[in-house]
Chains A and B, each alone.
Chain A
């Protein structure tokens, strides 16, 4: 049971990293919504996923 919990715990960190990576890719490689406001939204949204994936917050 403890092992299962630990696996789920680590999967959530991996999921955070995947979402951060996805957002990072979309920041640089997207065809639509190229405006500055969208760029700011993308980089701002990446932060919490990145901090969680890096075990900072």
Chain B
């Protein structure tokens, strides 16, 4: 298991200090059920069972514990690494190191590998001035690690993990030119172009849903679960009436976004 993002990234000097609200770990995919069972035994429970549609596959399980103020985000994959999750984990595991957190040595990816994770994390929501600022900081901080074999290591890692295209803006900033690998980047491009457009996930999923399952899934798209609705809209008053109004509000926003969502999917699918 590797600890990623948050204080580890700060400790490695790859991002400015900030207060984290969760702890992120990347687990070897095959060990996920065992790890989640062990954590459940210690009182860590799934925060809200996710049933909503997503553009990219669900990448983590969010856990909460009644005695802890922060959440635990257990990843078995990381968005933007388009290779098989097991291969991605292996590639990152090969580049593991440790940093000291809470006076303990904590396993984590080394600076080059962690730099790619951070870049993908910030690029996932599209390009903004905040993205630019964080990537500027990251490229500056990574510079000492990209001497000698560092640049070749970064290229090799990007190729192995299928993240060349998702990392392209970051690689451009580093002045690294790498030929594209054969991974399909359509969903990644849809995801990065559609931050805040929640109906995109449903459109992507419903397009691929078999006809016999379509009515049930469409109904679920309209109503969602109470836990997810209340998670999305924490101010929802208790009771059926409050829930009904929250559902209507969600539908209104979803329908308003629908033309934009369809346009993004159409544009990005045509580019593939």
**A and B are partners in one complex rather than unrelated chains:** no
Q: Which residues of B contact A (CB under 8 A)?
A: none
